[in-house]
């Protein structure tokens, strides 16, 4: 019965030395599968991955025992035959029994923020030498999924906006901007996100929004920040810049087709 105890100790001792521990989780707790899940999160590719690992204990299954037919010839020696199975956790309780080490279950869940929206005033065209107002629309997003049987939740918050205006100019701001009306400004006035084009032509305007990410798991309501930001491209704008002339006339062109500017 005792010959497997030494072998089990040799197997489990390195395992116990290598297992992750914390102030509230000992090596024995980890072996017995009594530790809470180990949860982590990070930015990978175009989204956030939340990972979870949880240890569950293995078990020991007994093989059949065998013997020779029993006799009693007066010499005091008797033998018997039989079969049996039992379960004894991590203790090796008899010959031909094997112990299965703990099993670590690993899982993950992916989250991706929805892109924001890029808009402009005037819509689709610009006046050379005057300001075109660009502004973004992006909101805080909260997404949930299942990880190891519990809710894993990620919150995305837009924190920075990067515009490229198509003429070699670029701007990064912490504000998404807003319409001229919302800012109490008149048309073609400068804003924190506006741009003035110097030459006529067709321009491609791109916007990338940086999202910061946080997560929490299970019953916890405390948000844990994730290092770095997630850059997410918004829609592309294509607009035409041209010159504009303002001429004061007595009558509009329908009444005076030969008038100035008609």
Ordered DSSP codes for 128-149: TTSEEEEEEE---EEEEEEETT
Q: What is the CATH number of domain 114-242?
A: 2.60.40.10
Q: What is the pLDDT of residues 155-206, one digit of tens each?
A: 999 999 999 999 999 999 999 999 999 999 999 999 999 999 999 999 999 9
Q: What is the pLDDT of residues 192-208, one digit of tens each?
A: 999 999 999 999 999 99
**What's the whole-number mean pLDDT along residues 215-222?**
93
Among 114, 107, 100, 130, CA closest to 53: 107
Helix, strand, or coil (residue 8): helix
**Would you list the domain boundaries of the chain?**
3-70+80-107, 114-242
pTM assigned to the model: 0.69
- Spatial neighbors of 168 by CB under 8 A, at least 6 apart, are none
Copy the structure tokens of residue 192.
Answer: 């924190």
Specify the pLDDT at position 239: 97
Using pLDDT thresholds of 50, 70 and 90, give the confidence band for residue 113. Answer: very high
């Amino acid at each position: 019965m005792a010959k497997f105890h030494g072998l089990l100790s040799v197997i489990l001792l390195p395992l116990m030395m290598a297992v992750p521990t914390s102030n509230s989780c000992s090596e024995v707790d980890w072996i017995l599968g009594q530790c809470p899940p180990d949860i982590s999160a990070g930015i990978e590719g175009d989204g956030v991955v939340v990972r979870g690992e949880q240890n569950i204990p293995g078990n020991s299954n007994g093989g059949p025992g065998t013997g020779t037919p029993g006799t009693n010839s007066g010499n005091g020696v008797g033998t018997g035959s039989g079969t049996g199975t039992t379960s004894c956790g991590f203790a090796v309780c008899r010959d031909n029994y094997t112990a299965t080490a703990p099993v670590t279950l690993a899982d993950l869940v992916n989250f991706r923020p929805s892109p924001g929206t890029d808009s402009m005033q005037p819509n689709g065209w610009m006046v050379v030498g005057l300001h075109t107002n660009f502004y973004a629309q992006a909101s805080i997003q909260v997404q949930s999924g299942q990880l190891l049987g519990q809710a894993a939740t990620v919150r995305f918050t837009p924190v920075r906006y990067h515009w490229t205006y198509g003429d070699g100019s670029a701007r990064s701001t912490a504000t998404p901007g807003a319409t001229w009306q919302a800012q109490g400004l008149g048309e073609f006035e400068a804003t924190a996100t506006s741009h003035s084009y110097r030459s006529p032509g067709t321009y491609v305007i791109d916007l990338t929004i940086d999202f910061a990410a946080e997560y929490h798991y299970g019953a916890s309501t405390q948000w844990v920040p994730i290092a770095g930001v997630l850059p997410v491209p918004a829609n592309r704008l294509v607009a035409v810049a041209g010159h504009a002339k303002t001429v004061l006339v007595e009558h509009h062109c329908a009444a005076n087709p030969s008038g100035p500017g008609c």
